[in-house]
Homo-oligomer: A and B are copies of this chain.
Amino acid sequence: MTFPTVVERWDVHEITLAGPADGNPFADVRLSARYQYRNRLVEAEGFYDGDGVYRVRFMPDAAGPWRFTTVSNVTELDGHTGGFEVTPASDGNHGPVRAVGTGFAYADGTPYLPFGTTCYHWTHDMDEDRERRTLRTLAASPFNKLRMCVLPTGQMAPPQVPFAGRDPDGLDKTRFNPAFFRHLEARIRDLRDLGVEADVILFHPYDGGLRGIQDMGRETDHAYLRHVIARLAAYRNVWWSAANEYDFNRAKTVPDWDDILRTIQRLDPYEHLRSIHNGTRMYEVASLYDNNKPWITHQSIQHWDATLTDEWLRVCPKPVVIDEISYEGNIGKRWGNVTGAELVDRFWEGMTRGGFVGHGESLAGFQERAWIGNGGALFGESPARIAFLRKIMEERRDGTLLRYLGRRQPAQVTVDLPPGDGYAAELIDVWNMTVTPVEGVHRERVRVGLPRRPYLALRLTRA
């Protein structure tokens, strides 16, 4: 057994053990470790990593001395004990993100405003050049959350897949592929080191029947969840998205998704964020999964109309994250060819209503495959404006009012102010990214004349 004796709060503590390699260790061997901090016990499941190597990963949430004991149905893995010291989190490590009311905060209390983007399959080709390009792009972007899939699609022929055996038609779904997961974990660590949350999509309906991963059966689904969660849950930047476009998977019912989400909840000792993302056709009112269910931490919505945020918040008092609102792009599909201006407009509509909006880019013809699928570089007009919006949102303080005026072009806007205080007003051009002060200190009501163009906002700050 090896393990580090010192680890940072909310970092990964990993125990490595040697054990049996015969039979099917993925299915036959149960391994966990019970971690103790003062009078508190937390149990984390381990996993088989191939070649007779077993690991237990753990994310300690408190600084100080911790002890552990391993538990296994295999004698050589059972009953190992050890201790380690957890040091305070270093700068930039704020712990995992939690839902707080209809917003989010890191575990240390630092507010977190999700500015998500999506690269569903950026890790599957194992093209490290492109992965490094993707990471550089993210580092220079406003985005601090990335939606990404564990499972490949039916169109792909990736060098490694999560399961053992010959891909696609000779897979053994009772065994997992350590090479695939080691690569995936490295990318999740890269994201963590950039301050980007990994919104890990566990299931999706895009297999087209090739590998049968839409309909593996409850037992295999559970074994898959157990393995993925044992591997990834100790990374503080992981979120669980049970599925993308769950309602396009005809093999699974809402009770199946309930079971999957409750299984995630049971297996993850850290209560990482849990959601499920709808796929109901745009331009219809979606019949969404009931996000009021207790195992759902936030509403992960696909819908084109950000103004419905008010309604979603009314129906369910959990954070609204419109992870898919259409992508800036030029492809034939309606979900993938809105202009940069339209996407930015939707960001402002959603975020000034108390929701959060996700980005995606499906501009074809600029690189081998578009950002939304494979990452790489961004070519759109929206990211710079989203960075501007993020700055505006992060500058908000108590008493700051933000009124977005949208696609319309009223000649003036009147805002009633809370009584008592004086307010300074600024006119924001969300597309041209300018902030222009409006003269004076305003009380009770402010009326501002507007230029004849859309995409303006008013910021009112308590003087």
User: Could you tell me which A residues sit within 8 Å of B by CB distance?
Assistant: 329-332, 334, 337-339, 342, 364-365, 407-414, 450, 452-454
- Whether the pair B338, A411 counts as a contact (CB closer than 8 A) is no
- Whether the pair A411, B334 counts as a contact (CB closer than 8 A) is no
- Whether the pair B364, A331 counts as a contact (CB closer than 8 A) is no
Q: Across the interface, which residues of B come within 8 angstroms of A453, CB to CB?
A: 339
The chain B residue sitting closest to A334, CB to CB, is: B408
Q: Across the interface, which residues of B come within 8 angstroms of A414, CB to CB?
A: 332
- What separation, in Å, do the CA atoms of A414 and B329 have in the docked complex? 17
- Whether the pair B339, A407 counts as a contact (CB closer than 8 A) is yes
- Whether the pair B410, A332 counts as a contact (CB closer than 8 A) is yes
Q: Across the interface, which residues of B come within 8 angstroms of A338, CB to CB?
A: 407-409
A447 nearest CB across to chain B (Å): 11
- What separation, in Å, do the CA atoms of A365 and B412 have in the docked complex? 11
Given contacts A330-B450, A339-B408, 13 further A-B contacts (CB under 8 A): A329-B409, A330-B409, A330-B410, A330-B411, A331-B410, A332-B410, A337-B408, A338-B407, A339-B407, A339-B409, A342-B407, A364-B411, A365-B411
- What separation, in Å, do the CA atoms of A364 and B414 have in the docked complex? 16
A408 nearest CB across to chain B (Å): 4
- What separation, in Å, do the CA atoms of A5 and B330 have in the docked complex? 67
Q: Across the interface, which residues of B come within 8 angstroms of A412, CB to CB?
A: 332
- Whether the pair A411, B454 counts as a contact (CB closer than 8 A) is no
Which of A329, A407, A408 has the largest count of B CB atoms less than 10 A from its CB? Answer: A408
Q: Across the interface, which residues of B come within 8 angstroms of A329, CB to CB?
A: 409
Q: Across the interface, which residues of B come within 8 angstroms of A332, CB to CB?
A: 410, 412-414
- What separation, in Å, do the CA atoms of A342 and B410 have in the docked complex? 14
A413 nearest CB across to chain B (Å): 8
| 13 A-B residue pairings within 8 Å (CB atoms) | A330-B410, A331-B410, A331-B411, A332-B414, A334-B408, A337-B410, A338-B408, A338-B409, A339-B408, A339-B409, A342-B407, A364-B411, A365-B411
Q: Across the interface, which residues of B come within 8 angstroms of A452, CB to CB?
A: 330
A445 nearest CB across to chain B (Å): 14
Q: Across the interface, which residues of B come within 8 angstroms of A331, CB to CB?
A: 410-411
Q: Across the interface, which residues of B come within 8 angstroms of A364, CB to CB?
A: 411
Q: Contact partner of A409 among B337, B407, B408, CB < 8 A?
A: B337
Which of A412, A413, A414 has the largest count of B CB atoms less than 10 A from its CB? Answer: A412
- What separation, in Å, do the CA atoms of A413 and B333 have in the docked complex? 11
- What separation, in Å, do the CA atoms of A450 and B450 have in the docked complex? 34
A292 nearest CB across to chain B (Å): 25
Q: Across the interface, which residues of B come within 8 angstroms of A408, CB to CB?
A: 334, 337-339
- What separation, in Å, do the CA atoms of A337 and B409 have in the docked complex? 5
- What separation, in Å, do the CA atoms of A342 and B450 have in the docked complex? 18
- What separation, in Å, do the CA atoms of A410 and B410 have in the docked complex? 30
The chain B residue sitting closest to A328, CB to CB, is: B409
Q: Contact partner of A454 among B339, B407, B409, CB < 8 A?
A: B339
- What separation, in Å, do the CA atoms of A329 and B450 have in the docked complex? 12
The chain B residue sitting closest to A411, CB to CB, is: B330
9 tightest A-B CB contacts, nearest first: A330-B411, A337-B408, A337-B410, A339-B409, A332-B410, A330-B409, A337-B409, A339-B454, A330-B410
- What separation, in Å, do the CA atoms of A176 and B364 have in the docked complex? 68
